[in-house]
Each structure stands twice: as structure tokens, then as C-alpha cells.
Amino acid sequence: QVQLLESGGGSVQAGGSLWLSCVASGASSNFESMAWFREAPGELREGVAALDADGTTHYLDSVKGRFTVSGDIAKRTLFLQMDRLKPEDTAVYSCAADEVRLYGGSWSIEYEYNYWGQGTQVTVSS
């Protein structure tokens, strides 16, 4: 059984930075896509950023230029550098992964991912 473990969340003032990491453990499984999703209170979960096995990255429009996704899919690790954070970035951030390469806008569809972490809280105060 594959497990994804996130770390690095916390509280920061607007304009600050945080770094999230996700590491997979458990049963061997070759990922093709890994992603970060977030869910704010009262809102639907949304895709924030993703990384494909070939190094292609994807971003939610509202985080472009502020967030940077990186990692090593072969090593099943994923990171998210979040800069110039805003109060609207406050949410629980979860790591997701799948063995299938996701094309086009599919990277941001949560049901496309088989594996999920439990999430880490990110709180940005104004």
C-alpha cells in the first residue's frame, strides 16, 4: 500500500514563504504524475500545481509566478515552494500521485489520482 506523507505547513504572514514536501513510502509503484491540491473551508478542493515524470509542470492560474513545484517522480518525492503568500492561499494542502500520465487539464482533476496524503495546514494571515 502506497502512503504519501506531507510536511512543511504552518502559519505565516501575508507576503511570506513556506515550503511543502511530500514523500511516498510503502508498496513500490511507479508514478507518472504527482500534484498538490488544496481545500479551503467551505470550498471545493482545487489543483494547485503538478509535476509529470518528464518534468512538465502545471499551475493554477492564481499561483503562477508565486509557487514553484519541483521533485523527483522516480524517487516519488514532490515539493512546493510558496512565495508571496496571500490570505486566500489558506487551506489544507494535500499531495496526490498516480501511475498514469495525465494530459491537458486532467492534472487538476482530483479523481484522476489514486493516492493521497492526509494534508498539511497552511495559514496565511493579513
Per-residue pLDDT reduced to its tens digit, 26-70:
887 899 999 999 999 999 999 999 999 999 999 999 999 999 999
Helices (H) and strands (E) in the chain, counts: 0, 11
Report the DSSP pairing between strands 91-98 and 115-116.
antiparallel
As a dihedral over the C-alpha atoms of residue 64, residue 90, residue 92, residue 7, rounded to 10 degrees, the angle is 80
pLDDT digits (tens, 9 = 90+) for 76-98: 999 999 999 999 999 999 999 99
Cβ–Cβ under 8 Å, residues 35 and 51? yes
